[in-house]
Amino acid sequence: MASIVGAITTSHVPAIGRAIEKGLQDDPYWKPFFDGFPPVRRWLADVRPDVMVLVSNDHGLNFFLDKMPTFAIGAAPDYPNADEGWGIARLPPLPGDPALSWHLIESLVADEFDLTTCQEMFLDHASMLPMALCWPDMRWPVRVIPVSVNTVQAPLPSAARCYRLGQAIARAVQAWPGDERVVVMGTGGLSHQLDGERAGFINKDFDLRFMDSMRTDPRWATAFGTVDLVRLAGTQGVELLNWMVARGALPDAVRQVHANYHIPISNTAAGLMVLEPERSQVPA
């Protein structure tokens, strides 16, 4: 059977693309952020994933306020980039895995998750920048299954619902008869607010408690409603729902391989974690 070898959670601030394009990785403003990623790359080289389930949120590229699915999943042979003009000029499309995508779709629907299935899908900075941070040469060694979570328009899915989606993804992967090694990545956040009276809001205490819970108490954030999460993390900080999907795909007991936290990056608290199952049954 296929296996989930671990999860990566990271921020996806659009300005990261501009920093990459301009070669600002060693600039004092950016260096603490970019310095967090070499351990991630080393871990990926060690675990050798075949597939990435990439959980993010759409920024008006595929879905807008008139049509906003709670959960959407790609089933395309590839996923072109359609950057909003912030950064990297050319990014090759991400290769898909239609067979495994359809297996996940059928399994998740059987698990009573109502999905929008996308046989064509463009990916914006929320997906492409984390991939470029993991593989700076932009030669993608993994096939990708994108999962989009509504973090934009009420009603949002609850943190508990997103955690259960991750658990359902794990069950689907484990039921796949192949031997693929799968990494789940959740992108977005952490605390930030881009508009309104609290524009520029960052809640470091909450961010660090949330990151600690990802390791020690994965259901901690499920006790908060979406209004509570907006209050604690900001209107855009609810992108942590994508982290909850990734965490739900792992067992309760995990080992923290790496973590980094840096503020601010473009008015955003940037978090990064790599987690893997504590008692991994992943084949060598």
Round to whole Å and give the CA distance between 213 and 183: 20
Instruction: Collapse the DSSP code of 117 into the 3-class scheme (helix H, G, I; strand E, B; otherwise coil) and give the result.
Output: strand
- Nearest C-alpha neighbor of 4 from the set 72, 53, 68, 62: 53
Would strands 3-10 and 143-149 be described as parallel, antiparallel, or unpaired?
A: unpaired
- Determine whether 258 is an active site residue: no
Would strands 181-187 and 3-10 be described as parallel, antiparallel, or unpaired?
A: parallel
Among candidate residues 12, 59, 103, 192, the one labeled active-site is: 192
The long-range contacts involving 36-41, CB below 8 angstroms and separated by at least 24 positions, are: 36/258, 36/260, 36/262, 36/272, 37/133, 37/134, 37/272, 39/257, 39/258, 39/274, 40/8, 40/10, 40/133, 40/134, 40/258, 40/272, 40/274, 41/134, 41/135, 41/136
Among candidate residues 12, 103, 125, 262, the one labeled active-site is: 125
Round to whole Å and give the CA distance between 163 and 241: 8
The residues annotated with a catalytic role in the active site are: 125, 192
